[in-house]
């Protein structure tokens, strides 16, 4: 193995001296380890003293030559949009304004794309205590199913009764996904006085996210 490294380093050193290659020109053709050996080998005596143990400087150089590849792979990682608390507040305020306009106070829940609660607003004079659970459940269902809960309710009403056995979901209208372009960032759920008002208030919240 040591003899093989010696041959390669001598060959590379000769090519560097004769053709005056730059390291940038040599790097694509040779492994970083071979280049490191050439850099460390200023003369035969130095090489002999280091033939069994690579100099620390060689290891540093070899590592630095390999670093750009890692950086390039990291640059291609996908980016994800997230729902911040401030944006959730804007959505909830828009929904609350619509609830006040139609005189239908209730509970408004905003969740992230995994269905976890970000914000819950319980308006004064909300008619049902159950609305706290229902609004959160609608928002969670819309986020995880990636569709309006009205669609889920219609599916059940059309005969898909088995859908009600899905545990932990509230499949009643009033839950809407929140999207930025094609990216899901969360969902809103509303429980007020009637299903139509629930849907209307939730849609007002969705519009607040639109440009």
Query: So what's the pLDDT on residue 79?
Result: 85
Q: Rounded mean pLDDT of 7-16?
A: 62
pLDDT-based confidence at 191, cuts 50/70/90? very high
71-85, 129-143, 190-204, range with the lowest pLDDT: 71-85
Tens digits of per-residue pLDDT, 144-156? 999 999 999 999 9
8 A C-beta contact, residue 178 and residue 184:
yes
8 A C-beta contact, residue 177 and residue 187:
yes
Within the chain, which residue ranges are assigned CATH 3.30.450.150? 85-207
8 A C-beta contact, residue 144 and residue 115:
yes
| Secondary structure element (H or E) that encloses residue 58, with its range | helix 56-75
8 A C-beta contact, residue 190 and residue 201:
yes
Please state which of the four CATH numbers 3.40.250.10, 3.30.230.10, 3.30.450.150, 3.30.70.1560 is assigned to the domain occupying 85-207: 3.30.450.150
Residue with tokens 């005056």: 20
CA distance readout (Å), 98 to 32, 85, 90, 91, 94 = 65, 20, 13, 11, 6
Query: So what's the pLDDT on residue 210?
Result: 87
Looking at residue 164, the DSSP 8-state letter turns out to be: G
Residue with tokens 């290659």: 21
Query: What one-character-per-residue DSSP string does 120-131 give?
Result: EEE-TT-S-TTH
d(Cα 141, Cα 136) in Å, to the nearest integer?
9
8 A C-beta contact, residue 178 and residue 150:
no
Tens digits of per-residue pLDDT, 62-88? 555 555 555 555 678 888 899 999 999
Helix axes 32-40, 2-19, angle to 10 degrees: 70
pLDDT-based confidence at 22, cuts 50/70/90? low
Q: Rounded mean pLDDT of 10-39?
A: 54
8 A C-beta contact, residue 27 and residue 56:
no
* Share above pLDDT 70 across residues of the chain, in percent, rounded to a whole number: 65
């Amino acid at each position: 193995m040591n003899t093989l490294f010696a041959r390669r380093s001598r060959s590379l050193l000769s090519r560097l001296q004769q053709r005056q290659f730059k390291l940038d020109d040599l790097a694509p053709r040779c492994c970083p380890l071979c280049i490191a050996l050439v850099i460390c080998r200023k003369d035969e005596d130095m090489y002999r003293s280091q033939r069994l143990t690579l100099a620390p400087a060689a290891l540093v150089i070899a590592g630095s030559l390999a670093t750009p590849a890692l950086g390039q792979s990291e640059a291609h990682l996908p980016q994800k949009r997230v729902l911040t608390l401030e944006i959730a507040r804007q959505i909830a305020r828009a929904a609350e304004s619509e609830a006040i306009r139609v005189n239908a106070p209730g509970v408004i829940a905003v969740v992230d794309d995994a269905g976890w609660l970000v914000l819950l607003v319980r308006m004064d004079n909300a008619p049902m205590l159950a609305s706290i659970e229902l609004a959160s459940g609608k928002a969670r269902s819309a986020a995880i199913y990636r569709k309006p809960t009205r669609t889920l309710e219609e599916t059940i009403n059309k005969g898909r009764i088995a859908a009600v056995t899905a545990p932990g979901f509230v499949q009643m209208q009033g839950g809407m996904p929140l999207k930025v372009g094609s990216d899901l960032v969360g969902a809103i759920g509303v429980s007020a006085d009637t299903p139509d008002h629930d849907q209307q208030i939730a849609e007002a919240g969705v519009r607040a996210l639109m440009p």
